[in-house]
Amino acid sequence: MLNEILATKRDEVTVLRLPQTRDLLRRTALDAEPPRDFLGALSVRDSHLKVISEFKRRSPSKGELAPNLDPSMMALCYEQGGAAAMSVLTDQQYFGGSVADLQNARAAMSIPVLRKDFIIDEVQIYESRAIGADAILLILAAIPEDSLLMDLHACAVSLGMGVLVEAHSEDEVERVVGLGLGIVGVNARNLADFAEDREGVAALATQIPPGVVAVAESAIRSLEDAAKMADAGFNAVLVGEALVRHPDPSSLVAAMSAVSVSSR
């Protein structure tokens, strides 16, 4: 599945890299207002779990989740519940997202917004800042070369953006920790077959140095799941499906945000 998605992204990048389009995106990114502080939002010095609340319409593994959700309404709910940041899926073909979803969500609230997509080229980072994203996701499995990963990371940081670097295995966690980056995500979902391993994620928390923000991603469907990640030492959780399907997402965010994090 990941290879299929990346093939689609390479086609999208080909269009974005047309000289006129690339130059416009770069100029717009450089002229944009300063981004909101994603790293700062996750690094607040208290003992509570930080929640990155996700806006997600569907996924390849689960199908339709909440196709008719209003991103502005959900953004307000998340912020009122105490979310530290919001993640918005912008991939259209596989996740039903859009640039408009991100822009509408960001306009409705004041917390930072992470653009969740499959970023493999610098031009996508300019596009992300141009559309208002405050942070981006970089997926190790999609970027095999450390040199490219660091170039993409440096490009985002030069624009003032936060970067969540996502790993899926012990080897990938070791790789990203070795690069000395500030935010490390560990995803419980295998991108090859979308199988989940929540326990495996919890066990990897101890590999992440105390000075790095550790984020647990995927398969967090309840307050109990979030508490397990906090007990393992994760500073933050990224939660999507549970929130978009919840009758009162603000209350679930508030409950998760009240959980105490154990040191690691």
On whether residue 247 sits in a domain, the answer given is yes
Tell me if 229 sits within 8 A of 202, measured CB to CB.
Answer: yes
Confirm whether 217 is a catalytic residue: yes
Residue 193: the pLDDT is 64
Residue 27 lies in a domain: yes
Catalytic pick from 50, 56, 128, 228? 56
What is the C-alpha to C-alpha distance for residues 98 and 127, in angstroms, rounded to an integer? 13
116 belongs to the catalytic site: yes
In a domain, 223, yes or no: yes
Q: Give domain status of residue 264, yes or no.
A: no
Count of domains in the chain? 1
Angle CA(120)–CA(61)–CA(201) in degrees, nearest 5? 70
CATH number of the domain residue 159 falls in: 3.20.20.70
Instruction: Report the alpha-carbon distance of residue 169 to residue 165 in Å, rounded.
Output: 13
pTM score, whole prediction: 0.94
The pLDDT value recorded for residue 248 is 96
At residue 1, the pLDDT reads 84
Q: How far apart are CA 51 and CA 171, in angstroms?
A: 26
Per the structure, the complete domain to which residue 74 belongs is given by 2-257
Q: Which position among 104, 187, 235, 250 bears the catalytic label?
A: 187
Query: Residue 143: inside a domain, yes or no?
Result: yes
Q: Is residue 133 part of a domain?
A: yes
172 is catalytic: no
- Alpha-helix residue ranges (DSSP H) falling in the chain: 2-16, 19-31, 38-42, 71-81, 99-107, 122-130, 146-158, 170-178, 198-204, 223-232, 241-244, 249-257
Residue 262 lies in a domain: no
- The stretches in the chain having pLDDT less than 70 are 191-194
